[in-house]
Amino acid sequence: MPKYNKWLQDVIDAAEEVMKNLGDIVYKEAVYEEALCHELRIRGILYERQRNFEIMYKGYTVGSGRVDFIIDPFWATKKKDEHVMEIKAVKTIAKAHMRQAQVYMVSLDIKTGAVMSFDCESGILIEPLDMPDVKPPERKVCKPRSKKAKTIEKFLKKAVDEVYKYFGTEFLYRETTGLTTYENALGVELRLNGIEFSNATHPILYKCQQVETFTIPFVFVDNSAMVMGLYRKPEQIEENKEFYKYYANKFGIKKLYLGLIPEKEDEKVVFTEV
């Protein structure tokens, strides 16, 4: 059996007691989390639940997050080290789950943490984590530049690369909310460089009935626009281009630029006109 640090072993012992008492029934994650809270209190293990934090880009808030547990929170103990604990109810702890916890660790500047999963067949699954060696959140507020960017296309390509370089793939586990973080950061870049933009939401109609909406997050004064997306496989690049080309024509967009963030760390950002 692996040997864990005391803080983690104490939580594992509490979690095993939870599993022992809840039995072989499959519960939702929230049930295990609530039961673990109660067991931690019984054992006198200090914790903080659902701590909120900001996701920063160049001193501006571009998103938010909420961590399940902080073990040994600074306000309740004389210990200097806090620990992130994310709770799951899955059969296998995936890389995305670990990446999620590490995002929280980086954002909160907490060096150690773990992902714990409750599974009625396998019991308690645990993945200890250290904070990855990445650039810490930039909290110094960057001021707008005095000169406005001259060429929108070149600027957009550079800006998307810069946003991705700053965040990497760390926030993509969040699916749509993760992409929103990158879009908000791109908005910061646009404002810092004096580029005016708005967003546009268009209705999708079926026999005069609105069935969905399509939002373009960045629309510029020259009637060009920019959207961001994700891709995992090379063939998805062309699929995205065809998808957005259809909507560009449908809604009368003069030029539509597409910035695709790779879901794999060894791939590159794709920037193209559709």
What domain count does the chain have? 2
> Would you say residue 144 lies in a domain?
no
Regions of the chain with pLDDT less than 50: 174-176
Strands of 270-273's sheet, edge to edge? 197-206, 209-220, 224-231, 255-262, 270-273
* 169-186 core/surface letters (b: 16 or more CB in 10 A; e: else): bbbbbbeeebbbbbbbbb
pLDDT value, residue 176: 44
DSSP state of 9: H
Closest CA to 99 of 28, 178, 183, 5: 178
Looking at the fold, whether 118 and 180 belong to one and the same domain comes out as no
Distance of CA 170 to the CA centre of its chain: 6
The count of C-alpha atoms lying within 13 angstroms of the C-alpha of 190, restricted to the half-sphere facing its C-beta, is 23
Looking at the fold, whether 169 and 121 belong to one and the same domain comes out as no
Looking at the fold, whether 196 and 229 belong to one and the same domain comes out as yes
> Would you say residue 147 lies in a domain?
no
pLDDT value, residue 171: 59
Residue 39: domain span: 6-130
pLDDT value, residue 79: 72
> Would you say residue 140 lies in a domain?
no
> Would you say residue 158 lies in a domain?
yes
Looking at the fold, whether 166 and 243 belong to one and the same domain comes out as yes
Looking at the fold, whether 114 and 188 belong to one and the same domain comes out as no
Which residues does 176 contact at the CB level (< 8 Å), separation at least 6? none
Does residue 19 contact residue 81 with C-beta atoms inside 8 Å?
no
pLDDT value, residue 14: 98
Q: Residue 7: in which H helix or E strand, if any?
A: helix 6-22
pLDDT value, residue 175: 43
pLDDT digits (tens, 9 = 90+) for 1-33: 578 999 999 999 999 999 999 988 899 999 999
